[in-house]
């Protein structure tokens, strides 16, 4: 793909094909194991160079202060890392729900880092971009690394995995789930036995956050129950709110979508073999 100032830059969603909480660090951060899968639905961004050094958001998110916006923070972090003082206007087309467990904000931040590193010709290696991204959010590094991956630690220890072709039916409950509300729950299981990346196979594992999210946000439980009526192996992704199930063909996924309640927003996306910007230099 041609990547320049005229491009629309992709920020794909992710699904957690399983998510286990295997412990907790002394600083309170949870130790996780999961598999991240990129899908062909997501947000997109456009960048316009400025004649000054300002970072401006052309499409600020409602209710999100600029200094907390991950796109803004990512651009400012790259400024700080490189000493670059070229300004930019950032326009975000938001398609993924906030608080949906699809990694939208993290993916947006990663695309900002990847795109501006390329457009500004900053030359920061991906390994360092991933370190910068980790300071913005635990899910940012996987989007920067660009490979579907088995993740450990707080999500930053990544082992690339090759995944089968699949289509995913994703349902969006009408609720935003704050990640902190789920991870801080006293009844969250935090002692699932860890497995090795080599031992994991597609279809293994569940989501340890699911029970907590369903108990505190009934809309998630309702959506999951609806999806499991047409696909018993459905799971929640991340800390919610979205739920999903996998199918071998788009036809099967679309047939399952047609069987869901009309009131439940749902869509079908294909699994990606890698991030669309995985080969960007």
Instruction: Kindly list the catalytic residues.
Output: 14, 139
84, 120 contact by CB (below 8 A): yes
Largest CA distance in the chain: 56
Which helix (H) or strand (E) segment holds residue 23: the answer is strand 9-24
d(C-alpha 38, C-alpha 31), whole Å: 22
Angle between helices 70-82 and 126-134 (to 10 degrees): 130
Q: How many residues does the chain have?
A: 281
Which DSSP letter does residue 165 get? -
Which DSSP letter does residue 169 get? E
Q: Is the peptide bond before 44 cis (omega within 30 degrees of 0)?
A: no
124, 81 contact by CB (below 8 A): yes
- How many Å is the Cα radius of gyration of the chain? 19
Estimate to the nearest angstrom the gap between the alpha carbon of 110 and the chain centroid.
10
Q: 């036995």: which residue's tokens?
A: 193
The two tokens of residue 64 are 């999100």
Among 157, 212, 172, 202, smallest CA distance to 32 is for 157
Q: What angle (nearest 5°) sits at the alpha carbon of residue 279, between those of residues 104 and 244?
A: 35
d(C-alpha 35, C-alpha 69), whole Å: 26
The two tokens of residue 200 are 């994991």
């Amino acid at each position: 793909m041609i990547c320049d100032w005229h491009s629309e830059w992709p920020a794909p969603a992710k699904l957690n094909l399983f998510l286990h909480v295997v412990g907790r660090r002394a600083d309170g951060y949870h130790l996780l194991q999961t598999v991240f899968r990129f899908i062909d639905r997501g947000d997109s961004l456009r960048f316009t160079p400025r004649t000054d050094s300002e970072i401006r958001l052309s499409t600020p998110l409602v209710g999100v202060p600029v200094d907390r916006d991950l796109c803004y923070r990512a651009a400012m972090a790259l400024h700080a890392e490189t000493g670059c003082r070229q300004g930019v206007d950032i326009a975000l087309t938001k398609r993924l729900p906030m608080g949906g467990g699809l990694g939208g904000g993290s993916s947006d931040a990663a695309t900002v880092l990847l795109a501006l590193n390329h457009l500004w010709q900053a030359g920061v290696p991906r390994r360092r971009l991933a370190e910068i991204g980790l300071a913005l959010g635990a899910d940012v590094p996987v989007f920067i690394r660009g490979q579907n991956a088995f993740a450990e630690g707080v999500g930053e220890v990544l082992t690339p995995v090759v995944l089968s072709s699949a289509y995913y039916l994703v349902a969006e409950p009408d609720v935003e789930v704050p990640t902190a509300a789920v991870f801080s729950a006293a009844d969250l299981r935090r002692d699932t036995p860890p497995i090795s990346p080599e031992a994991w196979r597609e279809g293994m594992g569940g989501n340890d956050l699911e029970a907590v999210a369903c108990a505190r946000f009934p809309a998630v439980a309702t959506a999951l129950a609806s999806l499991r009526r047409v696909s018993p192996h459905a799971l929640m992704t991340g800390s919610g709110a979205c739920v999903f199930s996998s199918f071998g063909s788009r036809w099967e996924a679309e047939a399952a979508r047609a069987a869901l309640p009309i009131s439940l927003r749902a869509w079908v996306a294909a699994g990606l073999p890698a991030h669309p910007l995985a080969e960007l230099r």
